A and B are shown apart, each in its own frame.
Chain A
Amino acid sequence: MNAMFPTLAAILAVAITSPAFAADGAQLFVDKGCTACHGEDANTSLEPGYPRLAGQNADYMFNQMKDIKDGKRANGLAPDTMKPILEEVTEAEMRALADYVSGLTNPAMAAKPADGPGKKLYATKTCIACHGKDGKKPIMKTYPYLAGQDKLYAFNQMKDIKTGARTNGNTNAMKTVMHLVSDQELEAIAEYLSQAK
């Protein structure tokens, strides 16, 4: 028995960490219905206003799923579309989903950023400080990538953070600069971000 125990533990450790035993993100992404709105590649929005998710920071996505389920993120489409689905998703499954989706390729990461008025605003309105050059290098794992994001989704989130409709997570870090940006400028920034693809 004494000799047997370490072997058993080793087998179990392998079993628990292997994909077959852990929640399978790819399978969950289909089973939980995520593909319906976010696309099979997690990068094709059902319609304008839905976010592109492929390659997004895992910690950021995990926090958003949790906040939508808990009601802490209650702006825009989240309460009616995402929340009912997330009621049936456990935290372990959210983690698996976040890890899976963050591993998918966001084509905008390799694309040339767009020109236009939004490009300059992105720097002067200090977006660049947290989200990095061209929205491709957020400084925290809990901050989102922005490159290639759906234009309407990006605009709505910026606007909701500005007005206080979205208050979850780290949005308090962003709210303090939002008075610097008019709605028209938000649109230009959203256009700039969405065009890298």
Chain B
Amino acid sequence: MNQFTRAFTPEKLQEAWHVFLTEFPMGLWETLYVTILSTFFAILLGLPLGILLVTGDEKGIRPLPQALMKVINVLINFLRSVPFLILIVMVIPLTRAIIGTSIGSVASIVPLVVAAFPFVARLVESSLRELDPNIIEMAQSMGASTWQIIFRTMLPESVPSLVTNFTLAITTILGYTAMSGAMGGGGLGKIAINYGYSRYKYAVLYLAVIVLVLLVQVFQSIGTHLAARLDKRIKK
């Protein structure tokens, strides 16, 4: 406790403010681009996989061999159940192969995508399963092909739900960037750990937390607002 109060003396606060002004802009920028790029790639991989989970289902519009679906499901569950901290270490060879190094902001995108894309696939799956099966039947009755059902019916009709779920994904990934920051990545997480944990500069830690919380709020507000605006089922 004594140590804790000593961390908030005027000098310490002033020092923290200095760190805030000199290092936070870069940290914020790193956190932002790592989060956004990771989310982008996670969606790039997770969206088709999520679609596959729904369409390839036994009762889906294009059933695939159920043994294959079982394997895919087990793999997704496996990736989802490995703790992120362990996963970062596990994918180091992959990170080196793609980026050339396993240290730094850019390198942290690889484990983030590996951790997030199975999560996104499950979110997409749940969004698409919400869709009224009668709508799919309607599209089939109009002579739509499998691709037309996916791209002209399932996805457009699920846009509000997908936006809501992608918002959940981006805020979760933002939280994960702090963890990758501790494991050699960059961004606000790294600043918080470096100053707050390694050098007992709690004031810096708290400032970093405040910025992270504000970021989550911003992403969530944009997502919620966008989902509501895009949803044409709401009478206006």
Q: Do A and B come from one complex?
A: no
Interface residues of B (CB under 8 A from A): none
